[in-house]
């Protein structure tokens, strides 16, 4: 009985003294934090993907609270809805940003782009990229080793084993930009998602002259300028033998898709048309 009593008293005393010390230490070293940090952080998706350019959601929350306006801040994962919530909490306004999605600008499937050598090394794009220009004749195209797949936190991009090209899952893609950074060939771009997810883009990055590009890949952009000429909105420019469609000018009229002789321009999620021949198979696969 005595033993129990002594134990209880000793432990109780130690506990009480520790509590007092802790109390004063906590008071002394208390750091004031804006309570809005926590509120904003709670409104964020907590993916900590870094897509906003800040270290994690907390970093972004701090930046939002401290910023004069929310103009340049955007959480690509949460999108407009989240940014609206953040704006309400902070009493600021936020402009509606057009949602974007990752697109892979290479259409060189195994059929279109014959392989000329076999890579036998670590399945890692960056390592292969440092070693050589790729298994096919095209030194700009996808290596197909899946750095983008590894980098994706949202399980939204996968290498299709049949085509050896990555495919983006539009539903899951949050356009955080991790794959854009991971790709050593700079093939992935964040583009406007477009109405009803309809998009048109040049699925090629080959900057070689037409004949050389065409020789290594059937569906390469050969810089024939047909699309540039046919575009009524001046949305297409050609630099370094490569066409590029600016998504802020493009009205999705699909004229360029029709004229492209190599099917390098890809249209996504459009209803099938009556006159034109069926969309090339890889266009569907890329979606």
Partner 1 sequence: MKTFRIGGIHPKENKFSAGKKIQTIELPKQVVIPLSHYIGTPSEAVIKKGDLVKVGQLIGKANGFISANVHSSVSGKVTKVDVQLDATGYKRPAVFIDVEGDEWLENIDKSSDIVRECTLPKDEILRRIQDAGIVGLGGATFPAHVKLTPPPGKKAESVIINAVECESYLTNDHGLMLEKAEEILIGIKIIMQVLDVKKAFIGIEANKPDAIKLLSNLAKNYTGIEVVPLKVSYPQGGEKQLIDAILRRQVPSGKIPIEVGTVVQNVGTVFAIYEAVQKNKPMIERIVTVTGKSAPNPGNYRVRIGTMLSELALDAGGVPEDTGKIVGGGPMMGRSLMTLDVPTAKGSAGILYIQKQESIRKPIQNCIRCTKCVTVCPMGLEPFLLMNQSERNMWPEMEANRTMDCIECGSCSYTCPSNRPLLDYIRFGKTTVGGIIRNRAVK
Partner 2 sequence: MDKLVISPAPHIHGGDSVSKNMTTVIVALVPALLVGLYYFGLGAIIVTLTAVISCILFEYLIQKYILKGTNSIMDGSAALTGLLLALNLPSNIPLWMVIIGSLVAIGIAKMSFGGLGNNPFNPALIGRVFLLISFPVAMTSWPKPIPFNPSYLDAETAATPLAMMKSHFGTLPTTLDLFLGNMGGSLGEVSVLALLIGLIYLLIKKIITWHIPISILVTVFIFAGILNLANPEQYASPVIHLFSGGLMLGAVFMATDYVTSPMNPRGMLVFGVGIGIITVLIRTFGAYPEGVSFAILIMNAFTPLINTYIKPKRFGEKVKVNN
Which residues sit at the interface with partner 1, rule CB under 8 A? Answer: 116-117, 120-122, 124, 126-127, 130-133, 139, 208
Q: How far apart are CA 136 and CA 127, in angstroms?
A: 16
Q: Residues with Cβ < 8 Å from 180, sequence gap 6 or more?
A: 102, 186, 188, 189, 190
Considering beta carbons, is residue 124 or 158 the nearer one to partner 1?
Answer: 124
Least distance in Å: CB of 106 to partner 2? 19
259: partner contacted, choices partner 2, partner 1, none (Cβ within 5-8 A by kind): none
With CB under 5 to 8 Å by kind, the binding choice for 248 among partner 2, partner 1, none is none
Q: Is the CB of 150 or the CB of 238 nearer to partner 1? A: 150
Q: 23 by DSSP, 3-state: which? A: helix
Binding residues for partner 2, rule CB under 8 A, total 12
Please give the DSSP secondary-structure letter assigned to residue 217.
-
Q: Which does 261 bind (CB under 5 to 8 A by kind): partner 1, partner 2, none?
A: none
| Residue whose token pair is 């802020």 | 248
- From the list partner 2, partner 1, none, which binds 54 (C-beta under 5 to 8 Å, kind-based)? none
Q: Restricting to residues 108-127, which ones interact with partner 2 according to CB under 8 A?
A: 115-122, 127
Q: Which of residues 143 and 286 has its CB atom nearest to partner 2 in the complex?
A: 143
How far apart are alpha carbons 262 and 218 in whole angstroms? 7
Distance between CA atoms of residues 33 and 259, nearest Å = 59
281 binds partner 2 (CB under 8 A): no
Which of the choices partner 1, partner 2, none does residue 139 contact, using the CB cut-off of 5 to 8 A by kind? partner 1
52: which 2 tokens? 């906003």
Nearer to partner 1, 121 or 195 (CB): 121
Which lies closer to partner 1 via its Cβ, residue 94 or residue 217? Answer: 217
**Binding range to partner 2, per CB under 8 A, among 59-67, 128-136, 175-183, 217-225:** 128-136
Instruction: Pick the closest to residue 152 from 251, 77, 68 (CA basis).
Output: 77
User: CA angle at residue 263 from 106 to 285, to 5 degrees?
Assistant: 55
Backbone angles phi, psi at 152, to 5 degrees: -75, 125
113 to 103, 119, 141, 165, 287: CA distances (angstroms) = 19, 15, 9, 11, 19
Which residues are paired to 101 by β-bridges? 191
Tell me whether strands 165-168 and 236-239 are parallel, antiparallel or unpaired.
unpaired
Residue 115 contacts which entry, partner 2, partner 1, none (Cβ below 5-8 A, type-dependent): partner 2
Decide if residue 135 touches partner 2 (CB under 8 A).
Answer: yes
Provide the binding-site residues for partner 2, judged by CB under 8 A: 115-122, 127, 131-132, 135
């Amino acid at each position: 009985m005595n033993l129990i009593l002594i134990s209880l008293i000793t432990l109780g005393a130690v506990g009480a003294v520790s509590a007092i010390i802790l109390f004063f230490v906590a008071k002394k070293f208390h750091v004031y934090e804006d309570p809005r940090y926590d509120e904003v952080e709670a409104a964020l998706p907590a993916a900590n993907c870094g897509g906003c350019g800040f270290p994690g959601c907390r970093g972004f929350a701090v930046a939002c609270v401290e910023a004069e306006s929310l103009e340049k801040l955007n959480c690509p994962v949460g999108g407009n809805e989240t940014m609206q919530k953040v704006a309400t909490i902070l009493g600021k306004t936020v402009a509606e940003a057009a949602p974007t999605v990752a697109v892979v600008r290479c259409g060189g499937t195994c059929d279109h782009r014959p392989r000329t050598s076999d890579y036998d090394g670590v399945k890692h794009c960056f390592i292969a990229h440092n070693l050589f220009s790729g298994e096919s004749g095209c030194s700009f195209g996808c290596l197909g080793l899946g750095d983008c797949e590894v980098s994706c936190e949202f399980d939204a991009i996968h290498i299709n084993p049949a085509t050896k090209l990555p495919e983006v899952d539009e539903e899951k893609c949050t356009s955080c930009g991790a794959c854009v950074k991971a790709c050593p060939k700079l093939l992935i771009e964040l583009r406007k998602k477009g109405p009803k997810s309809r998009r048109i883009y040049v699925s090629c990055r080959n900057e070689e002259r037409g004949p050389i590009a065409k020789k290594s890949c059937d569906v390469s952009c050969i810089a024939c300028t047909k699309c540039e000429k046919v575009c009524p909105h001046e949305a297409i420019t050609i630099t370094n033998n490569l066409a590029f469609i600016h998504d802020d000018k493009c009205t999705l009229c699909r004229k360029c898709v029709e004229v492209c002789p190599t099917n390098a321009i890809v249209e996504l999620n459009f209803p099938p048309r009556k006159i034109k021949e069926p969309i090339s198979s890889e266009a569907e696969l890329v979606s």
